[in-house]
Structure 1
Amino acid sequence: MSASPDTAGQSVALVIQRRIADDGFAAFARWNGEVGEVLKAWPGFLSQEVVPPQPPAHLDWVTVLRFASPAAARAWLQSEVRTRLIGEVQRYFVGSEDVHILPDSGVQRDSAVSAVISFNVPDGLEDAFLKWQQRIQAAEAEFKGFLRHKIERPIAGLHDEWIVILTFDNDANLNAWLDSPLRQTLLKEGERFNAGMNVKRASYGFNFWFPAGKTQAPEQGAGFVWKSNLIVLLVLYPVVYLWGTFISKPLIDSHGVPVWLSLFVGNLVSTQLLGWWLVPAAFRALDWWVTPKAAISRQIAGYALLAALYAASMGLYALLLTWHWGR
């Protein structure tokens, strides 16, 4: 556990977490692209990353903007340009946004999950707050899946709260700690710090807040790529034949739409379904098999499961073809 002071010349990560109404997802995604184009010309801007929600556990959009200095991030936050851009999509906002700016070491996201917890610490109680956090961190370390507990001090002109970034390896283990009786007991001990406590969840490991070399990216060798391709095939094949059977042939091709246009529309829809929902869901479901360090028994079980699912998918398509030609 550590607390980091503000460093004027250090690059920072501006993390903005906001909930968007369901009917605004597409507009908000396009809007983030427009913001990225504007930021390319902004002094001190380094990069942008947008993480869509992953319901039911994570309902907020997380935007990470990296700047060369706190001053550059502050200038963007307070700019009329940002205010004007926000006005374009404000009708889709649900509740208020959470904004945090923290030192950025340039390390990319990992597969962990985090809770970002903010506290309003009364003046003169900073040392007591840190000692209380030390007791909490010691308790967290005893829980399965605990990865890190980091404290960020207030940054003048940006936020007055103390921020704790708590990271576990997955949702289940993070929930086990957050809902534990031990944590509730510790929170009661620190009631004087909890009046303005705010807890936000994110499907994000927040590795960029930690020094390079402290964490490792997933191994993505030939085995990982091979398995990834098999998973994509698993969801791509049924999407293609279901689209062709129930959508393309009766609703598009039968109305004289050219093959080249029908094919483009089918691929457009398929890639969006795969990229936003189906492939991420499949990877989460098969995470126990994808990891390169999975035991041999899990490797065999994973391949057997995929073979069975492939066979079921092809069998279903064969039945659909028989039904179609038998009509």
Structure 2
Amino acid sequence: MSARASRDSTALNATVVTSQKVREGRADEYQRWQDRTNAAAREFEGFVGAEVYPPGAGEANEWVAVFRFSAMDYLTAWLNSDRRQELLDEAHELFEGPPTQEVLQGGSPAQPAPQVVTAVISHEVKPGCEEGFLNWQEKTLGEQEKAPGFMGSELFAPVAGVQENWVVVFRFESREYLDNWLGSDVRKKLLEEGSRYFTSYDVRKVGSSFSGWFRFDHGEDRSAPPNWKQAMTVLLALYPTVMVLNLTVGYGLEKLEIREYIGLFLSNVLSVSALTWLLMPTVNRVFAFWLVPARVRTRRAQVLGIALVVFCYLVFIGVFGMITGQIW
């Protein structure tokens, strides 16, 4: 999906990302207040979820709160409610200045990804420069996709009467990758070019992927390998596991004359445990260059990954064929 296509999204989900700079030494009070705020939001119709993210290392005590509702009407009812205003008035002394917020309409649910960091960038676009801004944004996305660790982005258009700025949300595999992109020469040149189209922009970093609240369709990554790769790697770990258990535990259970259905259950417990805590983590690390979508940037890497998995299949088949004496 292109940035331009995202502008026309008909998804009804609505999210507000609020950034609040908490005064030094008042973080505990803020968290208690935020808990009450989250509880108040839950009472409103259409509430989906709320999350709070503390400041990252070296950041200026800036907390980010994210609220999601099932539709824009429900979100605006919460934002404009007397109850929320009462809570904001109550916490006035906790903040160094008024909170800033971006309202995002759309975004498809996806699976969460550990270690991911998200950036939320709000742009105040000059009147009449929307088309140029979109073209610039697509060019920026093209460069961003080349950056190490990039996992995807979404562009959110202004919401009439609620949110005037254009907001882009993108994520990287780690804070280091994100910081490298934000400080890169390529991005600096792009910002110089983009200054023709927007008067200001604001960047916030969140140490999360919003628990998978956005699919980030603009990137090559969907935060998980395609199903066929998952199937290939599971088979790679499952086949030797089952063979080893059959040749060892299975033989022992047969000697003990344990009933077949009980023996099969015990074997499954062992195989699932081995896969979950030992073999699949190892396979995922070894084949990360091929499994993690953001890292597969060339056809050569794609072919190499497939070839290595198939080679391992053949090795296992040969080894177990010799062990069982059935190689020919």
Q: Which TM class, normalised by the smaller chain length?
A: 0.5 to 0.7
CA distance in 2, matches of 1:87, 1:48: 20
Q: Among 278, 284, 293, which residue is 1:293 paired with?
A: 284
In the alignment, the residues of structure 2 paired with residue 186 and residue 211 of structure 1 have an alpha-carbon distance, to the nearest angstrom, of 21
Using the size of structure 1 for normalisation, the TM-score is: 0.62
Please point out which of 102, 106, 111 is paired with 2:109. Answer: 106
Deviations along 1:80-106, whole A, 9 cap, x unmatched?
A: 111111122221112332212222433
1:13 aligns with 2:15: yes
Work out the CA distance in 2 between the residues paired with 1:8 and 1:140. Answer: 26
Task: Sort the Cα spacing of 1:291 and 1:65 in 2 relative to 1 into closer, same or farther, 3 A.
Answer: farther
Question: 1:225: how far off?
Answer: 8.6
The answer to whether residue 47 in structure 2 is matched with residue 56 in structure 1 is no
* Correspondences of 1:28-43 after superposition (within 5 Å): 28-43=30-45
Q: 1:198 Cα deviation (Å)?
A: 1.4
Q: Distance in 2 between matches of 1:142 and 1:80?
A: 46
What's the counterpart of residue 203 of structure 2?
Answer: 199
Cα distance in 1 for partners of 2:69, 2:101 equals: 14
Query: For this pair of structures, how many residues does the alignment match?
Result: 232
1:69 is aligned to 71
Shift of 1:27: 1.3
Supply the distance in 2 between the matched residues of 1:70 and 1:291 (Cα, whole angstroms).
44
Q: 1:149 to 1:107 in 2, by over 3 A?
A: closer
Report deviation, 1:292: 7.1
**Is residue 18–residue 66 contact of structure 2 (8 Å, CA) maintained in 1?**
yes
Cross-structure match for 1:97:
99
2:140 corresponds, among 121, 127, 136, to: 136
User: Displacement of 1:295 after TM fit?
Assistant: 4.1
Q: CA RMSD in A?
A: 3.1
Match of 1:145 in 2: 149
Q: Quick one: which amino acid aligns to residue 127 of structure 1?
A: E
- Opposite residue 102 of structure 2, the aligned amino acid is H
- 8 A Cα contact 2:52 2:66, kept in partner: yes
Instruction: State the AA in 2 paired with 1:2.
Output: A
Displacement of 1:72 in angstroms is 1.0
Distance in 1 (alpha carbons) for counterparts of 2:127 and 2:12: 27
- Aligned identity (percent) is 27
Instruction: Between 2-11 and 193-202, report the one with greater CA deviation.
Output: 2-11
The gaps in structure 2 that reach 5 residues or longer are: 231-271, 288-328
Instruction: Determine the structure 1 residue equivalent to 2:88.
Output: 86
Aligned to 1:214: 222
In structure 2, the CA distance between the partners of 1:291 and 1:174, relative to structure 1 (3 Å rule), is farther
Tell me the distance in 2 between the aligned counterparts of 1:189 and 1:12. Answer: 31
Structure of greater Rg:
2
Contact in 2 for aligned 1:15/1:100 (Cα 8 Å): yes
Contact 2:124 2:200 in 1 (8 A): yes
> Structure 1: which 5+ residue stretches go unaligned?
228-289, 297-327
Aligned residues of 2:111 and 2:223 also touching (Cα < 8 A): no
For 1:201 and 1:31, how far apart are their aligned partners in 2? 22
Cα distance in 2 between the residues matched to 1:76 and 1:87 = 15
Distance (whole Å) between structure 2 residues aligned to residue 59 and residue 25 of structure 1: 8
CA distance in 1, matches of 2:80, 2:155: 25
Quick check: 2:126–2:198 contact (8 Å CA) kept in 1? no
- Identify if the C-alpha distance between structure 1 residues 157 and 6 changes in structure 2 by more than 3 Å, giving closer, same or farther: farther
Cα distance change on mapping 1:174 and 1:211 into 2, 3 Å: closer
Q: 1:109 to 1:94 in 2, by over 3 A?
A: farther
CA distance in 2, matches of 1:291, 1:99: 42
1:158 aligns to 2:158 (yes or no):
no
Deviation at 1:137?
1.3
Q: TM-score, normalised by structure 2?
A: 0.62
Say if 1:125 and 1:169 are closer, same or farther in 2 by CA, change over 3 A: same
